[in-house]
Structure 1
Amino acid sequence: MSSTEIAREALPQKLKRKIKQSLGPWGVFIEGFIRHPVMVGSIVPSSRFTIRRMLAPVDWDNCKLFVEYGPGIGTFCRPVLDRLGRDGTLIVIDTNPDFIEYLRRTITDSRFIAVLGSAADVEDIVRQHGHEKADYVLSGLPFSTLPDGVGPAIAAATHRVIRKGGAFLVYQFTPRARDFMARHFRRIDSGYEMVNVPPCCLFWGWKDEDEG
Structure 2
Amino acid sequence: MTSTELAREALPQRIKRKIKQGMGPWGVFLEGFLRHPVMVGSVVPSSRFVINRMLSRVDWSRCKLFVEYGPGVGTFCRPVLDRLPRDGMMLVIDTNPLFIDYLRRTVNDSRFVAVLGSAADVEEIVRAHGHEKADYVLSGLPFSTLPDGVAPAIAAATHRVIRKGGAFLVYQFRPKARSYMARHFKHIDQDFEAVNVPPCFLWWAWKEEDEA
- TM-score normalised by structure 1 residue count: 0.99
2:135 corresponds in structure 1 to: 135
1:189 corresponds in structure 2 to: 189
Alignment of 1:59-208 (within 5 A): 59-208=59-208
2:52 corresponds in structure 1 to: 52
Instruction: Please list the CA deviations of residues 59-112 of structure 1 after superposition, one character each: whole Å capped at 9, or x if unmatched.
Output: 000000000000001000000000000010000000111111111111110000
> For residue 193 of structure 1, what is the amino acid of its counterpart?
E
> For residue 113 of structure 1, what is the amino acid of its counterpart?
V
Instruction: Please list the CA deviations of residues 13-51 of structure 1 after superposition, one character each: whole Å capped at 9, or x if unmatched.
Output: 111100000001111111001101111121100000000
Q: How far apart are residue 11 of structure 1 and its match?
A: 1.1
Aligned equivalents of 2:190 and 2:136: distance in 1? 16
Aligned equivalents of 1:64 and 1:154: distance in 2? 21
Q: How far apart are residue 2 of structure 1 and its match?
A: 2.5
Counterpart of 1:191 in 2: which secondary structure? strand
Q: How far apart are residue 9 of structure 1 and its match?
A: 1.4
Counterpart of 1:122 in 2: which secondary structure? helix
Aligned residues: 212
Structure 2 unmatched ranges of 5 or more: none
> For residue 50 of structure 1, what is the amino acid of its counterpart?
V
Instruction: Please list the CA deviations of residues 103-143 of structure 1 after superposition, one character each: whole Å capped at 9, or x if unmatched.
Output: 11111100000000000000000000000000000000000
1:7 corresponds in structure 2 to: 7
Counterpart of 1:164 in 2: which secondary structure? strand
Aligned equivalents of 1:60 and 1:34: distance in 2? 35
Aligned equivalents of 2:80 and 2:14: distance in 1? 35
> For residue 84 of structure 1, what is the amino acid of its counterpart?
L
> For residue 177 of structure 1, what is the amino acid of its counterpart?
A
CA RMSD across the alignment: 0.6
Aligned equivalents of 1:69 and 1:95: distance in 2? 9
Counterpart of 1:203 in 2: which secondary structure? strand
Q: How far apart are residue 3 of structure 1 and its match?
A: 2.3
Identity %, equivalent residues: 80
Counterpart of 1:92 in 2: which secondary structure? strand
Counterpart of 1:169 in 2: which secondary structure? strand
Where do 4+ consecutive residues of structure 1 move more than 2 Å? Answer: 1-5
Aligned equivalents of 2:63 and 2:30: distance in 1? 32
- TM-score normalised by structure 2 residue count: 0.99
